[in-house]
């Protein structure tokens, strides 16, 4: 895969999940929002980065220590992964393996007619549903959504008058980024997530968007099967985190 495409996808995903603070130095970006969400509390390589060294690690640890947090470094299979040995020697432990998938919106997989509702802004009912399904850091998550630049849409599938499955999508650099796909446990297996994500794909396909990307826990086989059925057949890259002891 062309590295420009990989970086384009990576930076689009970051824009769809922005951090409150984004401090750049030595070809790396130290993101920080507080709470437990790793993506917005980790050091990330930037396009053109020159590798990780002891001085960058020391500076990273000092940055996160100032907020009372351990350092967390995010490494991608095409950028920075070789730095894991250096971090391991300093006692860092690996966690959070994730895979980035891509779908061609010029030739999308068939999607069943969707009954999902779409909002331009996060509806209070949508936020309440997200907090029921994924209870981590609700205040930080809500604040993060306010930082996202449009165009964006929030999708929700209702059962008995309540949103039971949801997702949101952001268009960045002619690319749809699908995020926060979640379904209440007792409603899984009914095709609700498929319709929620499918509604975002249909919306984006009408917006001169050429591809869609999303990131999924690498060993989440049911989710990966769902996304494959929606056309997310191409693996772009993997990433993982290294956590300071």
pLDDT digits (tens, 9 = 90+) for 26-71: 999 999 999 999 999 999 999 999 889 999 999 999 999 999 999 9
Looking at residue 111, its pLDDT comes to: 63
Looking at residue 113, its pLDDT comes to: 59
Radius of gyration in angstroms for the set of CA atoms belonging to the chain, rounded to a whole number: 18
The answer to whether 46 and 52 are in contact (CB under 8 A) is no
Residue 218 pLDDT grade (very low, low, confident, very high; cuts 50, 70, 90): very high
Looking at residue 58, its pLDDT comes to: 98
Closest by CA position to 20, among listed 128, 196, 109, 139: 139
Separation of alpha carbons 65 and 44, rounded Å: 17
Looking at residue 240, its pLDDT comes to: 98
pLDDT at 227 over 60: yes
Residue 112 pLDDT grade (very low, low, confident, very high; cuts 50, 70, 90): low
Per-residue pLDDT averaged across 159-179, rounded?
97
Q: What pTM does this model have?
A: 0.95
Structure tokens at 149: 């630049």
Looking at residue 115, its pLDDT comes to: 87
Where exactly are the structural domains of the chain? 3-98, 103-237
Place of tokens 């947090």: 69
Separation of alpha carbons 148 and 169, rounded Å: 10
Looking at residue 157, its pLDDT comes to: 96
Looking at residue 110, its pLDDT comes to: 62
Looking at residue 108, its pLDDT comes to: 62
- What rounded mean pLDDT belongs to the chain? 94
**69-to-34, 36, 57, 243 alpha-carbon distances in Å:** 8, 10, 14, 11
pLDDT at 136 over 90: no
* CATH number, domain 103-237, options 3.40.50.10470, 2.60.120.10, 3.40.630.30, 3.30.420.40: 3.40.630.30
Burial class (CB in 10 A: 0-12, 13-18, 19+), 93: exposed
The percentage of the chain sitting over the pLDDT mark of 90, rounded to a whole number, equals 89
Looking at residue 50, its pLDDT comes to: 84
Looking at residue 109, its pLDDT comes to: 63
The answer to whether 43 and 66 are in contact (CB under 8 A) is no
């Amino acid at each position: 895969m062309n590295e420009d495409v990989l970086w384009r996808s990576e930076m689009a995903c970051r824009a769809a999940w922005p951090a409150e603070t984004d401090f750049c130095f030595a070809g790396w970006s130290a993101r920080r929002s507080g709470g437990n969400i790793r993506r917005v509390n980790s050091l990330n390589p930037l396009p053109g980065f020159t590798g990780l060294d002891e001085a960058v690690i020391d500076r990273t640890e000092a940055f996160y220590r100032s907020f009372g947090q351990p350092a967390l470094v995010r490494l991608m299979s095409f950028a920075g992964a070789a730095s894991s040995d250096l971090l391991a020697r300093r006692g860092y432990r690996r966690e959070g393996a994730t895979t980035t998938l891509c779908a061609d919106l010029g030739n999308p997989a068939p999607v069943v007619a969707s009954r999902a509702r779409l909002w331009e802004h996060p509806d209070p009912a949508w936020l309440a549903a997200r907090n029921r399904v994924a209870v981590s850091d609700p205040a930080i998550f809500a604040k993060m959504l306010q930082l996202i630049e449009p165009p964006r849409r929030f999708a929700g599938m209702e059962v008995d008058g309540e949103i039971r499955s949801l997702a949101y999508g952001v268009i960045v650099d002619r690319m749809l980024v699908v995020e926060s796909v979640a379904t209440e446990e007792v409603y899984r297996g009914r095709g609700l997530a498929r319709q929620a994500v499918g509604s975002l794909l249909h919306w984006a396909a009408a917006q001169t968007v050429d591809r869609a990307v999303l990131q999924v826990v690498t060993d989440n086989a049911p989710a990966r099967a769902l996304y494959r059925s929606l056309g997310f057949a191409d693996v772009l890259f993997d990433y993982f985190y290294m956590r300071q002891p």
